[in-house]
Structure 1
Amino acid sequence: MQLILEIKTQLNKVKIVSVTSRILKNKMNYFDVIDAEKILSAYGDSTNIANWAKNDVALAIDINMVIRRTDSLFGENDDMTRGNVAIILKMYYSGVSTHDIARMLKRNKSI
């Protein structure tokens, strides 16, 4: 399957993180974290994360899919390119570990 995505188009971070977490839960047997609020409380802007996304974002943080920013904010409205999203999804479907994904994204400063 060939993905055709315009690399410069921006997508909202919280939505991409949420979709990726839901793929993990639905297709790879991951579960919601026990205390999402506790995990999210490490971020100064955690109250800005939409209620519908909190469990998904907490899972992503818990498995190190989200790289912690130096300003201690999650940045739910930050943009990600379609190219970055395609890399995340391709790696998950290829069975690459979350540690490898986080390392690669940190190198590219994507999230």
Structure 2
Amino acid sequence: MPIQMWHKPDCPQWIVMQIGWEAGSRRIKEQDAWAKEVFPAACERLKQAAAAMPSDTPVQPFVDALTELVQAQADTTGFVVLHRWVEILERHFPPQLPDPNHTTE
């Protein structure tokens, strides 16, 4: 059930809520600015680390999927949408097809 509260402009509770909102907004803007500045270099370090791994390692599908997901994030200004995640994960971790030689007893 929605509740609506009215405050006088000099209400201490209202002032405290406004200060909290402003501080939260400022913190989010600072975090976003920091992330936008640091992300390209971090993305490049990931690519370099992935390229340095031997290609025959069992974790290669994980490395490839993570690298592609990070690149997809770099290519967007928002969030990587769910269908894009699924496309990438399906490509690197395809569903197992039924084994025609397997029979249940």
TM over 0.5: no
In the superposition, the TM-score normalised over structure 1's length comes to 0.25
Q: Kindly indicate which of the two structures has a greater share of residues assigned to helix.
A: 2
Higher RCO (C-alpha under 8 Å, 6+ residues apart): 1
In the superposition, the TM-score normalised over structure 2's length comes to 0.26
Q: Kindly indicate which of the two structures has a greater share of residues assigned to strand.
A: 1
For the pair shown, the structure with the greater C-alpha radius of gyration is 2
